[in-house]
Amino acid sequence: MALLTLSACSPSASNQTSPTATGTSSPQASPRFAAYVAADFATALAWSPDGRLFFAERAGTIRTFDGKTSRVFATVSASTSGERGLLGLAVSPSFQTDHFVYAFYSRADDQSRQRVVRWTDQGGTGSSLSTIIDNLPAGNDCCHKGGRLAFGPDRKLYITLGENHVAADAQRTSSLRGKILRYNPDGSVPGDNPFGSNNPVWAIGLRNPFGLAFSGDGMLFVTDNGPSGDAGTPGSGWDEIDHVVRGGNSQWPTCYGNSIHLQGAQCVGTPPTYQSGSTTLVPTGATFVSARGPAGYAGDLVFCSYSQSRLKVLSPDGVRLLFDGPRCQLDVKEGSDHALYMSDASAIYRLGA
Which residues span the domain enclosing 240?
A: 30-352
Containing 97, the helix (H) or strand (E) segment is helix 95-98
- Helix or strand or coil: residue 150? strand
Backbone dihedral region for residue 41 (phi beyond 0: left; psi -120 to 50: alpha; all else: beta): left
Confirm whether 254 is domain-assigned: yes
Q: What CA–CA distance (Å, rounded) separates 179 from 154?
A: 19
Confirm whether 16 is domain-assigned: no
Integer angstrom CA distances of residue 212 from 140, 241, 243, 302 = 25, 10, 10, 11
What pLDDT was estimated at residue 232?
81
Domains in the chain, number: 1
Q: Enumerate long-range contacts of 51-59, CB under 8 Å, 24 or more apart.
A: 51/336, 53/335, 53/341, 53/348, 54/89, 54/91, 54/101, 55/89, 55/343, 55/348, 56/86, 56/87, 56/88, 56/89, 56/103, 57/86, 58/1, 58/4, 58/85, 58/86, 58/87, 59/1, 59/85, 59/86
Q: Enumerate long-range contacts of 126-133, CB under 8 Å, 24 or more apart.
A: 126/62, 126/73, 126/74, 126/101, 129/74, 132/102, 132/183, 132/186, 132/187, 133/159, 133/183, 133/187
What pLDDT was estimated at residue 229?
87
Query: pLDDT tens string for the chain (353 positions)?
Result: 334 444 334 333 333 333 333 444 455 567 999 999 999 999 999 999 999 999 999 999 999 999 999 999 999 999 999 999 999 999 999 999 999 999 999 999 999 999 999 999 999 999 999 999 999 999 999 999 999 999 999 999 999 999 999 999 999 999 999 999 999 999 999 999 999 999 999 999 999 999 999 999 999 999 999 998 887 889 999 999 999 999 999 999 999 999 999 999 999 999 999 999 999 999 999 999 999 999 999 999 999 999 999 999 999 999 999 999 999 999 999 999 999 999 999 999 999 99
Residue 219, burial from CB neighbour count under 10 angstroms (0-12, 13-18, 19+): middle
Exposure string for 313-346, b = 16+ CB within 10 A, e = fewer: bbebebeebbbbbbbbbbbbbbbeeebbbbbbbe
Confirm whether 4 is domain-assigned: no
What pLDDT was estimated at residue 228?
86
- Residue whose C-alpha is closest to residue 7's, from 223, 155, 219, 201: 223
Quick one: CA torsion of 106, 18, 297, 338, rounded to 10 degrees? 60
Confirm whether 13 is domain-assigned: no
CATH number of the domain at 139, please: 2.120.10.30
Residues 6+ apart with CB under 8 A from 118: 100, 101, 102, 103, 129, 130, 132
Largest Cα separation within the chain, whole Å, is: 58
Q: Can you give the pTM of this predicted structure?
A: 0.93
